[in-house]
Structure 1
Amino acid sequence: MDGHVQTIGHYSGLKNIARDFALRLKELIAFQSVRSFARSCQLSETALRKYLNGESTPNLERLIAIANQSGVTVEWLATGKGEKYPPQNVAEPEGSYQTSPQLHEIERIVLNKLIANTEKRLNNIQEIASHSQSPAIWEASIEMEQNTLSDLKAELRRL
């Protein structure tokens, strides 16, 4: 045996996935502080450190937030495959791009799930604020969640 521990079964690649994601994330953070990058992605510093240490990987919503903040594609961030950066200023001729009804339905499902999760977070934050001795400190978080909720609902209406 060569001294490497071999994991068998369904979970064999999960450790590598988290490790590889951590390497891509470190590349994106570069010389920023972890705290600064976490704030810019609206993540907790603790969660970001877990990603960087390969202890966990982000859910879809957080993955999208990191990709958007960093200007990279979600596919590259999640898998290391595909183009790292989205194409810039690529204009499709009018009417040449048709999305399938199935794709629109998937988008609706994902948006509805994101809306439901955002509403839960907003309710939780409002509940915490209502019991806080300093409810004003929660105003920025409440406003951020309300803005996110508004954006998600607008996107859903667009479909």
Structure 2
Amino acid sequence: MSFPERLLEALKLADVKRHGAGVWLAKQTGTTVKAANKWLNGESQPRREKVLQIASATGVRPEWLEYGTGEIISDEVRENTSTYNLHTADAWDSDTPLEPHEVEVPFFSEVELAAGNGFSNVQEISTHKLRFNLSTLHKAGVSTDTVACCKVTGDSMEPVLPGGSTVGIDTSQVKIQDGKMYAIEHGGLLRVKYLYRLPFNGIRIISANPDVQDEELSGESAQDVRIIGRVFWYSVLL
């Protein structure tokens, strides 16, 4: 299967019709309709960061979309058919009874960290809880002891994660897998970004927003970045 064929299959899963697909792709990736139509027609192939944006927007695996390897559906949407319709977590209070199939998950409405003090301080200012389906955690291979949720602020991860989106984090997954989305502590802030390894222990930090420049940190600078965990789930309200 060629890249245009995989791209059309991904669009079909996202319920995007072939007519108007160029406009939709352009909006999702911040590119021109002309460039998007070239991807659809096989005249060119998007850069890696564009592939990541398309994969996240359609709910397919970037590796499958770019190379045709592995399974088509991503972990984030395996349980659901729509990337943006993940009804697996709801805000609740201490008076809401917990169902047998649910678990309490810390929910951090604050994303700014005191510089150098780490993720534990964010846990202390957690003001809400989420109810999370155990089946979602089991299918993602995430332990109830290592899951947390937080809100994303700003527009650096748009259009994949608009400001106000909620992400689920597996705090046991702190080893970088290229192209995966992670929550990191950097400069006293909790940030959600795509990460790539660089030679000599460096890190490339990529935002979904094409207007935000990629960051490359050398081995020494990269030591200032602490990986909190891998994002395995997210919910977006449109």
TM-fit CA distance, 1:48? 1.0
Once residues 69 and 80 of structure 1 are traced to their aligned partners in structure 2, the CA distance between those partners, rounded to angstroms, is 17
Once residues 104 and 29 of structure 1 are traced to their aligned partners in structure 2, the CA distance between those partners, rounded to angstroms, is 26
- Aligned match of 1:28: 10
TM-fit CA distance, 1:38? 1.9
Residues 74 and 100 of structure 1, relative CA distance in 2, 3 Å threshold = closer
TM-fit CA distance, 1:23? 0.7
TM-fit CA distance, 1:36? 2.5
Residues 27 and 149 of structure 1, relative CA distance in 2, 3 Å threshold = same
TM-fit CA distance, 1:74? 0.4
Task: List, as ranges, runs of 4+ consecutive aligned residues in structure 1 with deviation greater than 3 Å.
Answer: 94-98, 100-109, 156-159
> What SS does structure 2 have at the residue aligned with 1:110?
strand
Deviations 1:101-159 (A, max 9, x none): 99974395332xx47xx9xxxxxxxxxxxxxxxxxxxxxxxx972xx459x79xx8454
- Whether 1:92 and 2:92 are equivalent positions in the alignment is no
Once residues 101 and 81 of structure 1 are traced to their aligned partners in structure 2, the CA distance between those partners, rounded to angstroms, is 16
Verify the 8 A CA contact 2:196 2:204 in the aligned structure 1: no
TM-fit CA distance, 1:78? 0.6
Residues 158 and 68 of structure 1, relative CA distance in 2, 3 Å threshold = farther
Residues 96 and 65 of structure 1, relative CA distance in 2, 3 Å threshold = closer
Verify the 8 A CA contact 2:4 2:39 in the aligned structure 1: yes
Kindly provide the amino acid, as one letter, of the partner of residue 61 in structure 1: E
More helix by share: 1
Once residues 86 and 71 of structure 1 are traced to their aligned partners in structure 2, the CA distance between those partners, rounded to angstroms, is 6
> What SS does structure 1 have at the residue aligned with 2:74?
coil
- Aligned match of 1:53: 41
- Whether 1:76 and 2:64 are equivalent positions in the alignment is yes
RMSD, aligned CA:
3.9
> Which segment is superposed worse, 95-104 or 76-85?
95-104
Once residues 202 and 43 of structure 2 are traced to their aligned partners in structure 1, the CA distance between those partners, rounded to angstroms, is 31
Kindly provide the amino acid, as one letter, of the partner of residue 80 in structure 1: G
Deviations 1:5-57 (A, max 9, x none): xxxxxxxxxxxxxx700111122234151212321232211111111111111
Once residues 105 and 81 of structure 1 are traced to their aligned partners in structure 2, the CA distance between those partners, rounded to angstroms, is 21
- Whether 1:64 and 2:114 are equivalent positions in the alignment is no
Once residues 51 and 104 of structure 1 are traced to their aligned partners in structure 2, the CA distance between those partners, rounded to angstroms, is 24
Kindly provide the amino acid, as one letter, of the partner of residue 110 in structure 1: R
- Aligned match of 2:25: 37
Kindly provide the amino acid, as one letter, of the partner of residue 92 in structure 1: V
Kindly provide the amino acid, as one letter, of the partner of residue 175 in structure 2: T
Where in structure 1 are there 5+ consecutive unaligned residues?
A: 1-18, 119-142
- Whether 1:109 and 2:203 are equivalent positions in the alignment is yes
TM-fit CA distance, 1:98? 5.3
Once residues 158 and 42 of structure 1 are traced to their aligned partners in structure 2, the CA distance between those partners, rounded to angstroms, is 29
TM-fit CA distance, 1:100? 6.5
TM-fit CA distance, 1:87? 2.0
Residues 57 and 101 of structure 1, relative CA distance in 2, 3 Å threshold = closer
Residues 86 and 56 of structure 1, relative CA distance in 2, 3 Å threshold = same
Aligned residues: 108
Where in structure 2 are there 5+ consecutive unaligned residues?
A: 77-135, 147-170, 179-194, 217-221, 228-238
> What SS does structure 2 have at the residue aligned with 1:109?
strand
Residues 83 and 59 of structure 1, relative CA distance in 2, 3 Å threshold = same
Once residues 59 and 177 of structure 2 are traced to their aligned partners in structure 1, the CA distance between those partners, rounded to angstroms, is 28
